[in-house]
Chain A
Amino acid sequence: MSVDKVKRSEQKTLQIPWAAVVWLIISAFVFVIGGYVVTLRDVERFPGDFELSTEPTDSENTVKADIVAGTFEYNVVPELSNSVETGTFDETTDNPVAANLFENIPDITQVTIEPQTITITYDNDVEPDMYIRRAQRPVINAVLNDGATITSRVASDAEKTLVFMTSDDEWRYGSYVPALIPEGQQEVYETREAGENGSEMAQFIFERINSLQALTINRDSLIVTYREGAVENQVISRLQEALNEFHPRASLQPDLWVFTIAASSERIMDIIPINTGIPLFLYTLVLAGIEFAAFFSLRNSDDKLIRPLLRVVAVFLFFWSIYGHEPLWDFTLGLIFPSSTQLVHPNATVIEFTAQHLELVFVSSLITIPAGLLFGIIVTRDEFRELLPLVNNLVNSGQTVPTIAIVAFMAPIIGFGFWPAIIALVAYGLLPVVRNTIAGLEAVDPFIIDSARGMGLTPSQILFQIELPIASSVIMAGIRTSMIINVGTATLGAFVGSGGLGTPIASGLAMTVDSFILLGAIPAALLAILIDYVLGRIEFVLTPRGLQIEN
Chain B
Amino acid sequence: MIEFKNVVKQYPNGFRAVDNLNLLVHEGEICVLIGPSGCGKTTSMRMINRLIDISSGEILINGQPNTELPAEELRRQIGYAIQQIGLLPHMTISDNIAIVPRLLKWDEDRIRTRVDELLDLVGLDPDISRDKFPRQLSGGQQQRVGVARALGADPPIMLMDEPFGAVDPITREVLQAEFLQIQERVGKTIIFVTHDIDEAIKMGDRIAIMRDGHLVQYDTPDTILAHPNNRFVRDFVGTDRTLKRLGLIRIKNLMDASPPTCTLDSTVEEAKQCFVDYGAKSVFIVDKDDGTLKGWVDKEELKTNTSLLDAMYEAHWVDIAVRQDATAREALSAMVARGFRVTPVVDRHGKLVGTITLKALQDLVSYDPTSTATTEAVSNVG
Contacts and interface: CB of A to CB of B under 8 A. Distances in A.
Contacts of A452: 86, 88, 99
Interface stretch (A57-65, A200-208, A416-424, A539-547): A539-547
B257 interface: no
B75 A550 contact: no
Contacts of A453: 51, 75
A448 B135 contact: no
Interface in A471-495: none
A461 B72 CA distance: 11
A450 B99 contact: no
Contacts of B82: 447, 450-451, 454
B275 interface: no
Interface residues of A, number: 24
A469 B49 CA distance: 26
Interface residues of B, number: 31
A458 interface: yes
A454 B90 contact: no
A544 B133 CA distance: 10
Interface in B307-341: none
B72 A546 contact: no
A94 interface: no
Given A450-B51, A550-B135, A455 B89 contact: no
A455 B95 CA distance: 13
Given A456-B75, A544-B90, A546-B90, A451 B80 contact: yes
A124 interface: no
Given A457-B99, A457-B103, A469 B90 contact: yes
A458 B135 CA distance: 25
Contact of B74 (A456, A544, A550): A456
Contact of B136 (A445, A455, A458, A549): A549
B86 A447 contact: yes
Given A450-B82, A452-B86, A549 B133 contact: yes
Nearest to B90: A544
Quick one: which of A453, A454, A458, A469 has the most chain B CB within 10 A? Answer: A454
B73 interface: yes
B51 A456 contact: no
Given A450-B82, A456-B74, A546 B100 contact: no
Interface string A341-352: 000000000000
Interface in A423-450: 445, 447-450
B72 to A, nearest CB: 5
Contacts of A447: 82, 84-86
B85 A455 contact: no
Q: Taking chain B's interface residues, is the majority helix, strand, or loop, or is none over half, making it mixed?
A: mixed
B139 to A, nearest CB: 11
A452 B99 CA distance: 9
A294 B261 CA distance: 76
A300 interface: no
Nearest to A447: B84
A451 B160 CA distance: 11
A65 B88 CA distance: 85
Contacts of A513: none
A469 to B, nearest CB: 5
A38 interface: no
Contact of B75 (A455, A470, A551): A455
A466 interface: yes
Interface string B70-96: 011111110011101111111110000
A550 B133 CA distance: 11
A456 B78 CA distance: 9
Contact of B80 (A454, A458, A547, A549): A454
Interface of B: 49, 51, 71-77, 80-82, 84-92, 99-100, 103, 133-136, 149, 152, 159
Which 8 A-B pairs give the minimum distances between C-beta atoms?
A451-B86, A544-B90, A454-B80, A456-B75, A456-B76, A546-B133, A447-B84, A546-B90
23 contacts: A445-B86, A448-B86, A448-B87, A448-B89, A450-B82, A451-B80, A451-B87, A454-B75, A454-B82, A454-B159, A455-B100, A456-B72, A456-B74, A456-B75, A456-B77, A470-B89, A544-B89, A545-B133, A546-B88, A546-B90, A546-B91, A546-B134, A551-B135
